[in-house]
Amino acid sequence: MKLYFKPTSPYARKVRVVAVEAGLIDRITTEEPPLRDASTEFWRVNPTGMIPALMTDDGDVVVESNVICEYLDTLNKGHKLFPGQPVLRWRALKLNALADTVIGAHVTRVREGWRPEASRDTKMIELERSRVVSVLDALEADEGLINDPLNIGHVTLGCALSVSDRRFPKEDWRSAHPKLASWYKTFNARESMTSTYAE
């Protein structure tokens, strides 16, 4: 299999973490494709032109990080990250959606920060910052989600909190969310997280 990715993309990292957890990382090669040239081979095989994208052993292209993660989990012969039991699956998907919201909010903030200062949408930046706090507050209050058996939501949350530390190091999310901070300290030490971190 081949994973088209960028090392610092949180969405691509999520796929790589799942690949490690599923014992599949050694079956995957990687390529960093051009993303702003629609005439390239990458756009021919992947009509979205976006990363991450996975070329399967059968020659199919799977796009969008959550879909790729679930595809990899079908090949996982160990602990499934997408639970089969309905209640656990729902809880895993709920946590995954909340954590994906944090990643999306951070990505919006980063992109706005790339704009010249005079053209930045400061209201949007603050709204997305508030969205992150709101989600973390909800997860801190409902610690049952983070204490469930390891699932795709934990992977996404770990990647989301890593973006918090990387992109917004001056924002202290830990002091108001000690349960999350404790969980993240343990999760971030997993081999799947340490081996997929890129400066």
**Secondary structure (DSSP) of 101-149:** HHHHHHHHHHHHHHS-GGG--HHHHHHHHHHHHHHHHHHHH-TTTTTSS
Distance from C-alpha of 166 to C-alpha of 196, rounded to nearest angstrom: 14
Amino acid identity of 44?
R
**Residue 85 has which token pair?**
């039991």
Q: What is the pLDDT of residue 148?
A: 97
84 Cβ contact list (under 8 Å, min separation 6): none
Q: What is the pLDDT of residues 141-198, one digit of tens each?
A: 998 999 999 999 999 999 999 999 999 999 999 999 999 999 999 999 999 999 999 8
CATH 3.40.30.10 fits 2-74, yes or no: yes
**Looking at residue 143, what is its pLDDT?**
82
Residues of the chain with pLDDT below 70 are none
Residue closest to 193 by CA, chosen among 2, 67, 13: 13
Q: How many Cβ atoms are within 10 Å of 138's Cβ, its own excluded? A: 11
Report domain extents, the chain: 2-74, 86-190
The pLDDT value given to residue 198: 87
> What number does CATH give the domain 86-190?
1.20.1050.10
Q: What's the token pair of residue 110?
A: 């980063």
Does the reported pTM lie above 0.85?
yes
